Copies of this chain bind each other. A is one copy, B any other.
């Protein structure tokens, strides 16, 4: 009665183990990149033996890809244009920019890893890289849609350029924060960015009309 079955607590819980592995992996991979993330390090960080990691994930590539995938939805949410909100277009753009800024602060591991993967050119492309670039494309599409919605009259090419510029600015500001820490207020910078992009868009739309 006092000790019914010896094993009680340790009833193998696959889901929890998987989470622990991913938690460890996201942290390490976010700091050290693909090559720098060794299975042994993940094992040490999550407390499970290396062989257990291979029970949950096919191989290292699969693990890294899963890390990217798991952060996917959470992060992408920041790019939603809040439906039917009041305010001028500029105000709405600025609000989204603030959300994005906050998302970068909240999910830095995900993005740092993603950017590292994106920059690397290794012989066989890691699946995680592909996944990250897809997420990026989705984010870009949302930005493009936002531009078309809030600044009517933009031609395709202008949208393409503005979207690219908007994404580049976001990337660059994220990099800056990773390097300089909190020396600069990210939200302020993003609002400046949003404003400049919005003005450029407006001008392009006007010019297109003329």
Contact = CB atoms under 8 A, between A and B. Distances in A.
Interface in A150-180: 160-161, 164-165, 167-173, 175-176, 178-180
A116 B188 contact: no
Copies in the complex: 4
Given A35-B32, A192-B165, A115 B119 contact: yes
A106 interface: no
A112 interface: yes
A26 to B, nearest CB: 13
Contacts of A178: 118-119
Contact of A171 (B120, B122, B171, B196): B171
B175 A171 contact: yes
A199 to B, nearest CB: 8
Interface of A: 30-36, 112, 115-116, 118-122, 133, 136, 160-161, 164-165, 167-173, 175-176, 178-180, 184, 188-189, 192-193, 196-197, 199-200
Given A161-B184, A196-B196, A199-B199, 5 more contacts: A34-B36, A36-B122, A160-B184, A161-B192, A164-B180
